[in-house]
């Protein structure tokens, strides 16, 4: 009997790059810190080449990202590159998705701004504009101006 399944679709487009990053394991049982190269990136994570294997679900910190940022992630896959055991391709899933890679024109399915610094500045500008609106705008309009309402009370 043949079992047919639908082909899994990616959440966002992968982009081939060579971005140097510093990866540090946040798990004391599996110490690792060193320079690596991100070879494939997406809005949800990346695949980087490392000199040491890391167990699945190991939390890591990616430092020295373009723009000087850092982001935390967890190991989702770890595959040996070649038969000599010198390098591994480690796939990580970001805890906070986005264009942390500084891709100037990200794919449309990344659903994020082209520059993380610009995105946070735009978010701050939008927040300050919303604060200057009247008190009838969200989140202030959650309650009536007529006082408290208590269902079940008369």
More confident: 133 or 97: 97
- Pairing assessment for the beta strands 33-41 and 71-81 based on DSSP bridges: unpaired
Q: What is the 3-state secondary structure (H, E, C) of 58-118?
A: CEEEEECCCCCCCEEEEEEEEEEECCCCCEEEEEEEECCCCCCCCCCCCCHHHCCCCCHHH
Delimit the domains of the chain by residue range: 15-94
pLDDT level of residue 9 (50, 70, 90 thresholds): low
Predicted local distance difference test score (pLDDT) of residue 107: 87
Superfamily in which the 15-94 domain is placed by CATH: predicted glycosyltransferase like domains (2.40.10.220)
pTM for the model stands at 0.66
Nearest to 76 by CA among 46, 52, 33: 46
What is the average pLDDT score of the chain?
Answer: 76
Q: Given a cut of 80, is residue 145 above it in pLDDT?
A: no
Rounded to whole angstroms, the Cα distance separating 68 from 62 reads: 11
Mean local confidence (pLDDT), 54-81: 94
Q: Given a cut of 50, is residue 59 above it in pLDDT?
A: yes
pLDDT tens for 24-41 read: 999 999 999 999 999 999
């Amino acid at each position: 009997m043949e079992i047919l399944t639908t082909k899994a679709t990616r959440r966002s487009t992968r982009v081939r790059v060579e971005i140097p990053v510093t990866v540090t394991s946040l798990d004391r049982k599996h110490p690792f810190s060193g320079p690596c190269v991100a070879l494939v990136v997406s809005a949800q994570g990346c695949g980087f080449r490392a000199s040491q294997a890391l167990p699945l679900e190991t939390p890591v910190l990616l430092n020295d990202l373009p723009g000087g940022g850092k982001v935390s992630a967890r190991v989702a896959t770890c595959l040996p590159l070649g038969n000599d055991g010198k390098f591994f391709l480690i796939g990580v899933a970001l805890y906070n998705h986005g264009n942390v890679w500084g891709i100037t024109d990200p794919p449309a399915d990344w659903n994020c701004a082209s520059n993380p610094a610009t995105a946070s500045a735009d978010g701050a500008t939008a927040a300050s504009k919303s604060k200057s609106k009247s008190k009838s705008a969200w989140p202030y309009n959650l309650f009536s101006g007529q006082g408290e309402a208590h269902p079940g009370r008369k």
